[in-house]
Amino acid sequence: MRFRNNIRVLLSSVFCLIFISIGTALSYREIVAYTLSNIGGKKVLLRIEDLQEVASFKVTDQQENIVYWEKIFETGIVTRKFDFGKLPQGYYPYELAIGDEAVRGTFEVTEDSLSILKSDIVALRKERFHCEVIDQELQIRLTSARGNWVELSIRRMGGKELFRNLYEKPGEEFSRQVDLETFEAGKYIVRAKVEGKYFVQDFEVKK
């Protein structure tokens, strides 16, 4: 969603600047800065400075349903513009994650505006979700301290659900293989639900 900035919008923007401490183990630099600002109505600009790691930006509602999620693979100065005009009124937590640390905050959507509220830097638990197709088999790996059960589901991208099952997760590490022999060629989405949190990744089946 593209739109023009104007002087009045810039003067009324809500602006926050947060520094994420990345730690000495990383070689590129010790901090990453980002700005999240209201640029008029319910439109928001996200700008990340000197990004060198994969990042993700997620917005949920109060029931932790994901209303927006994007993984960012670009490096350098990264910008994203969002129009949340279709969201119902209420409070929406957001999270910008870089490596194993993140900034979490909340914005409020009212009838005709959006306000960015307090943000906090937090250390994330090391949660990882990865899947890849090897020899017509989907290899799924999840690392999470959450819960003791994982609900896995697979659906055709833009289509119906094809697979759903519940598995026990006795520790932090979980892995599962799904046979793809009967799946048609195309793109799919796998989703793992653990204690109310969703991990999502897409994959492709080639014949």
Side chain identity at residue 191, one-letter code = R
| Residues forming a β-bridge with 74 | none
Cα separation, 42 vs 39, whole angstroms:
8
Residue 33 near residue 49 (C-beta atoms within 8 A): yes
CA-nearest of 149, 130, 142, 126 to 175 is 142
pLDDT of residue 12: 34
Answer whether 183's CB lies under 8 Å from 195's CB: no
Residue 88 exposure: Cα atoms within 13 Å on the Cβ side: 4
Q: Report whether 187 contacts 194 (CB < 8 A).
A: no
Cβ(37)–Cβ(114) below 8 Å: no
> What Rg do the C-alpha atoms of the chain give, in angstroms?
19
Rounded distance between C-alpha atoms, residue 144 and residue 129, angstroms: 9
CB 89 within 8 A of CB 107: no
pLDDT digit string (tens) for the chain, length 207 residues = 433 333 233 323 333 333 333 222 222 233 357 788 889 899 999 888 778 788 899 999 888 899 999 999 998 889 999 999 999 999 898 988 886 677 888 888 998 889 887 665 554 456 788 889 999 999 999 987 678 999 999 999 888 899 999 999 988 889 999 999 999 999 998 988 888 778 888 899 998
Taking the C-alpha atoms of residue 200 and residue 71, their distance in angstroms, rounded to an integer, is 11
pLDDT of residue 199: 83
What does DSSP assign to residue 38?
E
The predicted structure's pLDDT at residue 37: 86
The torsion angles phi and psi of 67, rounded to 5 degrees, stand at -105, -20
* Nearest Cα to Cα of residue 36 among 84, 90, 71, 4: 84
Q: For residue 135, which of 49, 73, 207 has the smallest C-alpha distance?
A: 207
In terms of Cα–Cα distance, which of 90, 89, 95, 148 is closest to 121?
95
**Are the C-beta atoms of residues 112 and 103 closer than 8 Å to each other?**
no
What is the Cα–Cα distance from 162 to 177, expressed in whole angstroms?
Answer: 15
Domains of the chain, start order: 7-123 (2.60.40.3080), 128-205 (2.60.40.3080)
